[in-house]
Structure 1
């Protein structure tokens, strides 16, 4: 590997997000096809693509050389446009990744390890009931791999960064393979988790963008359910209910109250702070509930939601309420 090719500055991260947008767009159909958990709504690939597209657009328009500032803006843009469980979790990941990187113009192995640790903590805490065998498992795996590589290299060199990036992709792939045995629904269908595969692709685009290399086309070879001739397995599963998403300004106490009430009403609850506002934070809220109108009524008891979408988990395209 030629170290002169290695670049991990803000421009490299812009390339990463742009390349991830293209890659997720190219693979969205197969990701949708194997999307059966937590609900078989067949949109994980689309949700990841639309979410990363918002992040990539933000990064392309942000002239900063500060990699933390760049990713913070990208994460916030992604969170405002996040779609579904997978997109919401990806936006939380990007925003958290930025926190230890503020004030630096170059990504290093130790910094990447610290950023991935922060992202792991934030992503697992954003969900009311985190589950193994999902994108969360891959996030945890890459965090561990980066920390181990950092411990072995313990330097800020290009070589140390390359070793860290290669280690996280290798461990991400292993974690994706493990998802099939970690969730009963996946094991029964003989497939790996769709969100986990999408996150693996995102990690490989980071590696490729920083190291000046191409993507690894063989990365997905042999993953169960990922052959192009395989059927859209999600069509064999029927899920009822509504996915509700919105943005709302709440104090930390009111946010905790809302999370509790949504947990009682439904599941797949994800809440993450987007940005600080007067009296609290702007929160991105996601939940699967039996009755979308009942969930909105509950939310409005605590504040006025914005950017509201309600999508049938198995049915017609989403409809949007308000701005």
Structure 2
């Protein structure tokens, strides 16, 4: 059950005890309470989907992102304010899923940046941290859209700055911030017509309000909200470090964190460059993450310990791993590729198609199951290539994929593929003899030449563009717009096809989902082939959930 503002106000009156400053341990517990409140309300946030289709995942993405942050702060060796804030930022970045998760991670990144060197938090420092979080989040988005989580954090932070000097009690201050967050959230349908049409508020903004509510609850009561669903689990993709070539020059994959003060990570990076390859050194003056392939892990660690304390040390013998890999995966081990390809796909059939077309790694994910930045990074590390093309194949995964650029030394191109058909067109356009920038142009041309249709079902009653939609209706989306509605799958597919196919169309591809009878798919395929005799028509088992058919027209 969600904590509404009215119930929080009652708690504040009962508590009645002013708090003018809090320390890092208090902040840690506020974060945990906020994350738990979001977890308890994630399905409510998921339900705030613009379209009445079963693919709402904002609540899940934000909750998994926050859970990743909590996992990091629970491992904190000390509880000072900046350590807690910085660990939350680092954890959320690695666990960021979907656009909402990435934006949330950037809010936490800015929040931590503003708390650098702070030992305690008062109203002014909290207001500044929220404002820096807002600014950092806006910078992370190429074209910020008002009426989203961005507006909620910005107006909340601006209100916090305005009242910080005269509201020294942190409970009163945060209550005012939460009040403003709710007011802004209620206005989001007036800022985004698509929200008003769907009669919902912004899902990302609602998720942020849930976090704020949970934090305020702890601030008022000294009690952490508990997760009501004990079965919640975070699914991660195991990373297996593999050597890709038979002749491994540097045999130990060495990873660790350095924690210290005023550390120069560029100086440290230069000092160990000659000790190996595949070197990644990222972080700031207080926390550095190091990855290196070396024959002398001891020397690397000796150099690192001069800077600060070492933690999470992981050393793998890649030659031993390589021998095991050769036994089980000889065919996959090949010479180094010029360009590696990592694709995101959902459904066993679609996964197989991407592998057949040359994808080196296929990450299971898509609508309602967005991979995290760490998942994508893990797959990139398995590919034996310096240049990598990522095919997100979902608009909600692109932002998380872009964060990988800052976490690897490899050259990354994130293709702007928002659908499976776009991803298939893109991978077929890749030319191993061309540069990444040349391939980017080829991929974009391929994306522009394909239309995508999705056939799914309505999960609630609604009205779009004057068309009444009832729960259970079959819906046809074309380029993410509802274009056909009916009671029969075949009927809606045919309506969608009529809108998608024109005189320039030459290829139609149908991918049928795991709930579709193959015999029915075959009948539909034959009908379409007969109707559009000037086009080549293909039928493939996709195995995807939620969507009866994914349609590609080129």
- 1:301 is matched with which residue: 436, 442, 448? 436
Answering whether residue 211 of structure 2 is matched by residue 187 of structure 1, we say no
Partner of 1:19: 33
Task: Give the secondary-structure state (helix, strand or coil) at the position aligned to 1:206.
Answer: helix
- 2:173 is matched with which residue: 159, 164, 168? 164
Answering whether residue 94 of structure 2 is matched by residue 98 of structure 1, we say no
- 2:182 is matched with which residue: 167, 173, 176? 173
Partner of 2:418: 289
- 1:32 is matched with which residue: 46, 63, 74? 46
> Structure 1 regions of 5+ residues with no counterpart?
217-238, 249-257, 303-312, 318-323
Residue 297 of structure 1, CA deviation: 6.3
Spell out the pairing of 1:226-265 with structure 2 (5 A cutoff): 246-247=376-377
The C-alpha deviation readout for 1:180-228, integer Å capped at 9, x for no partner, is 2211111011111111111011112222223336799xxxxxxxxxxxx
Spell out the pairing of 1:125-136 with structure 2 (5 A cutoff): 125-136=139-150
Distance in 2 (CA, whole Å) between partners of 1:15 and 1:297 is: 48
Partner of 1:229: none
Q: Which structure dedicates a bigger proportion of its chain to strand?
A: 2
Partner of 2:162: 148
Q: 1:163 to 1:20 in 2, by over 3 A?
A: closer
- 1:211 is matched with which residue: 215, 220, 240? 220
Distance in 2 (CA, whole Å) between partners of 1:278 and 1:44 is: 27
Distance in 2 (CA, whole Å) between partners of 1:97 and 1:40 is: 33
TM-score by length of 1: 0.68
- Higher mean displacement: 98-107 or 39-48: 39-48
The 8 Å contact of residues 36 and 214 in structure 2, kept in 1 or not, is answered as no
Answering whether residue 205 of structure 2 is matched by residue 196 of structure 1, we say yes
Partner of 2:136: 122
Distance in 2 (CA, whole Å) between partners of 1:297 and 1:172 is: 45
Residue 276 of structure 1, CA deviation: 7.1
**Number of residue equivalences:** 262
Q: Which structure has the higher relative contact order (CA within 8 Å, separation 6+)?
A: 1
The 8 Å contact of residues 266 and 289 in structure 1, kept in 2 or not, is answered as yes
Distance in 1 (CA, whole Å) between partners of 2:40 and 2:408 is: 41
The 8 Å contact of residues 7 and 211 in structure 1, kept in 2 or not, is answered as no
The 8 Å contact of residues 176 and 196 in structure 1, kept in 2 or not, is answered as yes
Task: Give the secondary-structure state (helix, strand or coil) at the position aligned to 1:61.
Answer: coil
Task: Give the secondary-structure state (helix, strand or coil) at the position aligned to 1:143.
Answer: helix
Q: 1:206 to 1:182 in 2, by over 3 A?
A: same
Kindly report structure 1 stretches of 4+ aligned residues shifted beyond 4 Å: 4-7, 213-216, 242-245, 265-269, 271-280, 285-288, 295-298
Distance in 2 (CA, whole Å) between partners of 1:202 and 1:103 is: 24
The 8 Å contact of residues 243 and 292 in structure 1, kept in 2 or not, is answered as no
Partner of 1:108: 122
Q: 1:130 to 1:276 in 2, by over 3 A?
A: closer
The C-alpha deviation readout for 1:19-62, integer Å capped at 9, x for no partner, is 1222122111111111228x973111111111110111111111
The 8 Å contact of residues 48 and 86 in structure 1, kept in 2 or not, is answered as yes
Residue 128 of structure 1, CA deviation: 1.0
TM-score by length of 2: 0.41
What is the aligned-residue RMSD (CA, Å)? 3.9
The 8 Å contact of residues 62 and 101 in structure 2, kept in 1 or not, is answered as yes
Task: Give the secondary-structure state (helix, strand or coil) at the position aligned to 2:41.
Answer: helix
The C-alpha deviation readout for 1:135-176, integer Å capped at 9, x for no partner, is 1110111111110111434xxx5x2x3332111100000011
The 8 Å contact of residues 55 and 75 in structure 1, kept in 2 or not, is answered as yes
Partner of 1:252: none
- 2:58 is matched with which residue: 44, 56, 59? 44
The 8 Å contact of residues 113 and 146 in structure 1, kept in 2 or not, is answered as yes
Task: Give the secondary-structure state (helix, strand or coil) at the position aligned to 2:146.
Answer: coil
Bigger CA radius of gyration: 2
Partner of 1:270: 399
